Structure 1
């Protein structure tokens, strides 16, 4: 038995070897469906500014009865890491045996956070974007944006990528990914991006609206995937109010996610937001017509991390690429 060998350790490097976009997409889609059925739930999020290095640190945890995943992701956001050549997001996932509470595995969380966040937006594109979407808009060009672009390109036959970033010097890195995918790439201002894009992914750490309602054309699907914390905002409240709203988890969406400001102002209520799992499970039709503007708020739930980490452990053990330690 694996428990007799000690705690399973799966390194960052091993995660990159065993987890790909397809496996992360399947894991995230499945856990969203389980959440909507009531088979999985997230525990309250702890997220705090630590008063050092401008860092945000916290815990996301939960239990998936369907997948038998119990655990916690510990980590956060260190904005200065970009100057050190390492990802701003740093995290580790700890998995526990649901039957005994014993620590079962420790899994590097940086790569998994990136692929599960990209998988989340990809799930929303798969279920909500127009089938004939041709132009992908990227707002943000940091480390995570490259994962987002690759995952989005799996879902629709995009013919072009348009992008904007508050620091234009970072755009060549995103262009390199578009070139790799064989997609023409254009750097544009935000209003022009909205005029062209059929699907828009926002992946920033903004605390002010970057996109305005009047810029968005009919039929656009928007995935708001930026850093989630109290005060975050990537699109204006009027846009949120006018769109058909979906999210991974309503509680996080209205407290630390994109919908928090519209809730606080009374522009929307909780009943205006649909869990994406209801669409996956066939309980909600998703997009109802071609001109509808759909908005998915990816608040980033702990169950996503547990799902992809569990798959990483299984695959690492299967491929004999996991380590065991005794504690």
Structure 2
């Protein structure tokens, strides 16, 4: 996309939601994971800090995909009080730059895209790592992003049932409604029962303590742990990573701010036990090796995911003539 003579593209949240669907997000994320593993794309160090105000976390994720010619930065964070004001807790904006000149080329709303790319990331992991005969999907978490996760996961396997747990049970009806819409049965269960039933588990919370223990997960399960993206956060028992074959979006983030940080610090696993999922996508790693193997995807959320889907949104908006244009 070249906007050097056309000015800055501005693509709002409504256009992102209109133009970027689950399949487009899946393809963009899968492609960038493959590019990362082959050395054709890299993320830059993440800046993520507690503001000490409004209980908010704020930061920057950036990178360059030379293969896809996408350069940019996502700025934003998490404001836990937003839900009470009718706003999304996650707030972000993506800035895209022309790799040839460094000029700002597009300003893209990041809230919807963050949710759809996070769901695409777990969906990519399910596509490549979950058992083909998986029938029961377990959902841990029922916040804003959970419905995106459920819809994306449901497209990857022939699920028949959803079992779910959330620390605030009154939020579970939103997942039940989506399950019903998708023609799946739904059951609210305890964490232990979720582990006993689920063939695939998605965790999407902001927890700082383990919500699932290692002994609760049955052989053959695939887990996509999507909530831990900051130092100190934790969704599952670190011992579970020692039981599992661990994959991630980016190893450097996995060991420092992802779910693996606790297993690494305790010595339960070592860094070389973690495989970039791009290696599976590229055919350089076999992925799941047996029906009884537990696989775990540590989805830390890399900047290149955001840039990939934002680039798709900008390209489609530009081609359709729907984006606003401005000059700085």
TM norm. shorter chain > 0.5? yes
Q: Which residue of 2 aligns with 1:281?
A: 282
Could you tell me how far apart the structure 2 residues matched to 1:195 and 1:221 are? 13
Does residue 32 in structure 1 map to residue 33 in structure 2?
yes
Moved more, 114-123 or 260-269: 260-269
1:156-178 CA distance string (max 9 Å, x none): 00000000000000000111111
Moved more, 152-161 or 82-91: 82-91
Could you tell me how far apart the structure 2 residues matched to 1:136 and 1:284 are? 25
Q: Which residue of 1 aligns with 2:140?
A: 139
Q: Which residue of 2 aligns with 1:100?
A: 101
| Alignment map for 1:95-244 (pairs within 5 Å) | 95-244=96-245
State the secondary structure of the residue aligned to 2:229: coil
State the secondary structure of the residue aligned to 2:59: strand
Q: Which residue of 2 aligns with 1:254?
A: 255
Could you tell me how far apart the structure 2 residues matched to 1:319 and 1:158 are? 36
1:87-128 CA distance string (max 9 Å, x none): 110000000010000001000000000000000000000000
Does residue 294 in structure 1 map to residue 286 in structure 2?
no
CA shift, 1:27, in A, is 0.0
Moved more, 313-322 or 164-173: 313-322
Does residue 318 in structure 1 map to residue 319 in structure 2?
yes
State the secondary structure of the residue aligned to 2:269: coil
- Name the TM-score, length of structure 1 as normaliser: 0.99
CA shift, 1:227, in A, is 4.1
Moved >6 Å (runs of 4+): none
Q: Which residue of 2 aligns with 1:2?
A: 3
Q: Which residue of 2 aligns with 1:62?
A: 63
Could you say what the CA RMSD is over the residues aligned between the two structures, in angstroms?
Answer: 0.7
CA shift, 1:5, in A, is 2.1
- Name the TM-score, length of structure 2 as normaliser: 0.99
CA shift, 1:145, in A, is 0.2
Unaligned runs of 5+ in 1: none
Contact kept, 8 Å, 2:225 with 2:296, in 1: the verdict is yes
Contact kept, 8 Å, 2:138 with 2:164, in 1: the verdict is yes
